[in-house]
Amino acid sequence: MAGGKGAGGVLKLAVVFIAILALGLGTFKPLMNAMKLGLDLKGGVHVVAQAQSTPDHAVTAEDMAALERVMRDRVDQLGIAEPLIQKEGNDRLIIELAGVSNPEEAIKMIGKTAQLEFKTSDGQVVVTGKDLKDAKAIIDQATGEPEITLQFNAEGTKKFADVTQKLVNSYPYGDPRRAIGIYLDQQQLTNPQVQTAIPNGTARITGGFANFEEAANLAALLRGGALPVPVQLIEHRIVGPTLGADSLAKSKNAIIVSMVLIALFMLAMYRLPGVVAIFSLVIYALIILTALWLLKATITLPGIAGILLSVGMAVDANILIYERLREELRNGKTLRAAIDAGFRHAFVTIVDTNSNSILAAVVLYYLGSGAVRGFAINLGLGVLASFFTAVTLTRFLLHLVAEVPWFQGYGFYGVKGPDQQVPTVRGGA
């Protein structure tokens, strides 16, 4: 009966371990390939734009929302999928474009954030960017030539109607004084003539475009200039693809080396429970990667640091449990009783340490930004996953191990005891 029960325990343990290994080998690579890599791992551009208050107008939340819309529109025109654009504080915007092929062009496009002005020939500003609602490049179906359509808001419509009516009444067509120059960063973009008065808020800029791309770029600048406040790029940083790939390779090596060292330490110190801890770490890693994938998270170097830190904390939880397990074995308890007592006594300590880590992650997330938030998310997820695997999976696996008579010697648990088997069950234990 004992041999049959032992064989059954071995079979059950082997099935569970093989299933964990198969799950890890089958899902690790697809999950890693599905992850989005951050700027520091893929290469690209990091830009910080700051909205500038003026004596007449302080930066508001609405201004920042407008700035974010403009920047997102510009980035979309660069053809970059899923850029990171987020606010920092009350007047800053962080823009990260991972994988951008021409970072200098991207910075140039983003940096064109000066105010847009429409001026008459005498230098009078008649309409500004905040009066412009939209600008689009189109192809005129009649002539086949590229042109730009402008649409003003209600205030801009009235201003434009008044000035165009005045110019039409004052000067003949072809007179330079009948033109309205469009300026960005005090530089003239174009100087179209007013053909007729425009009372409905919709205007067209025709002629002078070499091709549609030129008209589209100008339309983008016009839309980008529709900001109510000036904007300055206070920081921009380019991470080359080679540097990003090098960082990614080093990060992978760091993960592999740390995992191997942790596994060797656990095997050397705790023997059979160390093996259990390694299998628990496999499930822990799968939980982390799956959670990040479901959250559509972007993996960055600080995020990897958060994961590695939580791996160490996951091992800490196992160490607390195993040390308690050893104490109970030395006190003469049976193996199953020692396992249960070890988890029971270590549970409060694990909850305390994990609670502090979760609190730190929450504070970092709410007070931090960008990479700090990524670190906080990964740290928080890691702590929760490590707590779950430590108090559930590790306990389940240890009970499976305890059912196998072959693994009940003191030496399997790193305990220097009498040369005999650890009692699995004892009356009253």
pLDDT digits over 184-211, tens only?
666 677 788 888 888 888 888 877 777 8
Which residue has better confidence, 407 or 171? 171
Residue 429 has a pLDDT of: 36
Of the candidates 295, 399, 385, 384, the one whose C-alpha atom is nearest the C-alpha of residue 338 is 399
CA 387 to chain centre: 24
Q: How confident is the model at residue 428 (pLDDT cuts 50, 70, 90)?
A: very low
Residue 241 has a pLDDT of: 64
Give the integer Cα–Cα distance in Å for 207 and 147. Answer: 7
Query: Would you say residue 402 has pLDDT above 80?
Result: yes
State the average pLDDT over residues 6-23: 83
Residue 77 has a pLDDT of: 64
> pLDDT for 27-53, tens place per residue?
888 887 887 777 777 777 888 888 888
Give me the half-sphere count of Cα atoms (radius 13 Å) on the Cβ side of residue 27: 16
Mean of all residue pLDDT scores within the chain: 79
| Lowest mean pLDDT segment, chosen from 25-29, 76-80, 157-161, 376-380 | 76-80
**Contacts (Cβ under 8 Å, ≥6 apart) of 108:** none
| Lowest mean pLDDT segment, chosen from 21-30, 239-248, 261-270, 334-343 | 239-248
Q: Any idea what DSSP says for residue 90? A: T
Q: What is the pTM of this model?
A: 0.61
Give the integer Cα–Cα distance in Å for 401 and 13. Answer: 7
Question: Where does 210-300 have alpha helices with state H?
Answer: 212-224, 241-270, 272-294
State the average pLDDT over residues 7-23: 85
Residue 220 has a pLDDT of: 66
Residue whose tokens read 């500004």: 128
State the average pLDDT over residues 112-138: 79
What letters, b where the CB count within 10 A reaches 16 and e where it falls short, cover 77-104?
ebebeebbbeeeeebbbbbbbbbbeebe
Do β-strands 44-51 and 231-239 pair in parallel, antiparallel, or remain unpaired? antiparallel
Do β-strands 298-299 and 36-37 pair in parallel, antiparallel, or remain unpaired? parallel
Which residue has better confidence, 5 or 290? 290
Percentage of the chain beyond pLDDT 90 is 1
| Lowest mean pLDDT segment, chosen from 154-168, 241-255, 354-368 | 241-255
Biggest CA pair distance of the chain: 112
